[in-house]
Amino acid sequence: MTSGYPSDATENAVQANIVAAGYSSASTGTGSGALHASGAGKCLDVPNGSTTAGTPVQIWGCSGAANQTWTRTAGGQLTVYSGGSQMCLDASDHGTSPGTKVQTWPCNGGANQQWNLNSNGTVTGVQSGLCLDVTGASTADGAPVELWTCNGGSNQQWSLG
């Protein structure tokens, strides 16, 4: 190191750490409303208001119905009243790999049911660090939602409310 100036290696290491950390911050607040899939112009939806544990979520045209109204709890869960039963958004089988199915499941406080709403528009699983992703960047009604490596795509952009 030359007096007062960092070496190139030091600057590169610092820059790598900044990039690895990302430019987003996680929200710890609560909120409620439709979870809009910004890239598709649709909403996160529980098909037919199903109350069956393990029902995969999808995107669908926004209707304002209870099966599209999500509440972020103080514990980081995203809850929905589907068919009159409260369920949580859940990473299937505690999955932590890209392609993990996202479903509804009775709320149990597990890390696979905790989500970060990030300032960059992504929703990431606390357990996996993966992004909520509309499969194949589809914009069609009924397109499934999964966990995938965060890549900045419009199919990973969400807004609550």
Contact in structure between 118 and 126 (CB atoms under 8 Å): no
Q: What is the dihedral of CA 142, 148, 153, 156, to 10 degrees?
A: 60
3-class secondary-structure state, position 49: helix
**Residue 41 token pair:** 């112009």
Global model pTM greater than 0.75 = yes
pLDDT category, 19, cuts 50, 70, 90?
very low
Dist CA 44 CA 61 (whole Å)? 9
In tens, the pLDDT along 126-160 reads 999 999 999 999 999 999 999 999 999 999 999 99
Contact 44, 85 (CB under 8 A): no
Confidence of residue 3 (pLDDT cuts 50, 70, 90): low
CB atoms within 10 A of CB 150: 20
Contact (CB, 8 A) for 40 and 61: no
pLDDT on residue 104: 98
Sign, CA torsion 29/44/157/39: negative
Q: At which residue do the structure tokens 């069956």 appear?
A: 52
Domains (range + CATH), the chain: 27-160 (2.80.10.50)
Buried b (16+ CB within 10 A) or exposed e, 90-113: bbeeebeeeebbbbbbebeeeebb
41: which residues sit within 8 A by CB, 6+ positions away? 139
Contact 104, 82 (CB under 8 A): yes
